[in-house]
Structure 1
């Protein structure tokens, strides 16, 4: 029988894989090795919220991503996919968490109210997704890659607005993820730096340098060279674990030294186009 924490990891995995359907409580009970008489109490004790509250928060998070970053998706379709029988019920639930109607959020996203509601889930993810981290490190030769870059400077909590702007620029310039690889350059650890000093680059690969523009998009280059790489599968909430592993455990035990370029990510597949627990991110640490 699996240990206590592993059981609830399975519960969360099942929930994330089935956000589009009515959840089978009997199946969740089986995964947790608990009878229905104890399941809800144990879930509340482990998650810090009821299992249905967890489901609601995860569904509304995905809905917010779709509203902000997938402008061609209809609100009524998002409502139905989120498990609501009517547009009105979805709007009430969404506004309770985001202080905006879905329509208002779609036109002008504000993530600030969301963070206070999501904090318990963030702590939960950080705790349970450590077990999902793939610590298999490979050393590869990364090719020189020309990238179009939008520099986000300032609080991580406003990063969503920069992401939205960069997605719109990519659409206008016909650089979808299927045609142009998606990268992020990570300059700072948001846990140890003042919010106003946080730096994060949103990037996509391009074939030719772009001209000076009013959108603040810059030409940059990811240089060729060796990189240690870990493939992370799952939510961004747990990205810190493999990043810290590369710096604190793998690097000191290896024969490599760091190159003069920040750690960077390649987004192979990402939420909300895939389920959050199926997102794939390759983490590259430049070494020599």
Structure 2
């Protein structure tokens, strides 16, 4: 089955790179190097759904990101780009997967219903991740970085609403990702933290302190110091495994200990501007030398 997992991960990546094209079963069979008969059987075994249902689901995920975070794109345009000939057809299918109409999702993004459909894809990504010994970690030193941040407190499934608010604030204040670095501060593991206690900050670099009480923007400083840094290419679906590796295997076998600051993600490239498997995220774990040891690069 492991071999089939690798094949279907390639199928997912091909679909993600060609969401705006007319995908068909024959092309996807060629990507997987399987006959149509075996392809359909293995796809159902891996995902629990037909291959064209998987295509529809990945298109809807891109559509949902555009609805939530790219509000300059009209809903009808999102529908057409997702392969639907009318807003009514798009709304009907979208409600099946998200439990609400596209317009309501755009106003208050909620991913609760979606996760039950998407779990098979997430499991496949995790099952086909590189082994921990392939993770390349560097110890680097960062200067102090001033950021404007918004604090999300509550279920990670409604994080999208906070993110959408922050994106709009950045646009108003002319702080696009091209000129202002994008960060997330990770305080809690969503798998072990009660939803109402979950904490997550979204931030961007700024040259001077900035606040906005109406939106909830505050100034936060990333402290100067040493960080274990790992470059993660791929979907956020596998970020948890990368973070777990840093917090367990890597730190336990290093000459460092954790410093009193949350883990940091720096977003280098974003979905849906790039396919999910081409996303780039830099992960920074704040560290300091253990007692009587001086920092050294590993």
Q: TM-score range by the shorter chain?
A: over 0.9
CA distance in structure 1 between the aligned counterparts of 2:110 and 2:255, rounded to whole angstroms: 45
CA distance in structure 2 between the aligned counterparts of 1:273 and 1:101, rounded to whole angstroms: 23
CA distance in structure 2 between the aligned counterparts of 1:276 and 1:57, rounded to whole angstroms: 14
Q: CA RMSD in A?
A: 1.9
Map 1:49-198 to 2 at 5 A. Answer: 49-128=49-128, 130-131=129-130, 135-198=135-198
CA distance in structure 2 between the aligned counterparts of 1:263 and 1:211, rounded to whole angstroms: 23
Query: Is the CA contact 1:132–1:233 (under 8 Å) kept in the aligned structure 2?
Result: no
CA distance in structure 2 between the aligned counterparts of 1:168 and 1:212, rounded to whole angstroms: 13
Deviations along 1:196-220, one digit per CA (max 9) or x if unpaired, are 1111111111100014522211111
Unaligned runs of 5+ in 2: 289-298
> Which runs of structure 1 show a deviation greater than 4 angstroms over 4 or more consecutive aligned residues?
none
Query: Is the CA contact 1:149–1:217 (under 8 Å) kept in the aligned structure 2?
Result: yes
CA distance in structure 1 between the aligned counterparts of 2:68 and 2:194, rounded to whole angstroms: 26
CA distance in structure 1 between the aligned counterparts of 2:115 and 2:245, rounded to whole angstroms: 26
Shift of 1:132: 8.9
Shift of 1:265: 0.3
Shift of 1:127: 2.5
SS at match of 1:15: helix
Number of aligned residue pairs: 286
CA distance in structure 2 between the aligned counterparts of 1:32 and 1:230, rounded to whole angstroms: 30
1:34 lines up with 2:34 in the alignment: yes
CA distance in structure 2 between the aligned counterparts of 1:105 and 1:192, rounded to whole angstroms: 27
Query: Is the CA contact 1:230–1:284 (under 8 Å) kept in the aligned structure 2?
Result: yes
CA distance in structure 2 between the aligned counterparts of 1:215 and 1:53, rounded to whole angstroms: 39
CA distance in structure 2 between the aligned counterparts of 1:48 and 1:192, rounded to whole angstroms: 27
Query: What is the match of residue 248 of structure 2?
Result: 248
Query: What is the match of residue 12 of structure 1?
Result: 12
SS at match of 2:72: coil
SS at match of 1:251: helix
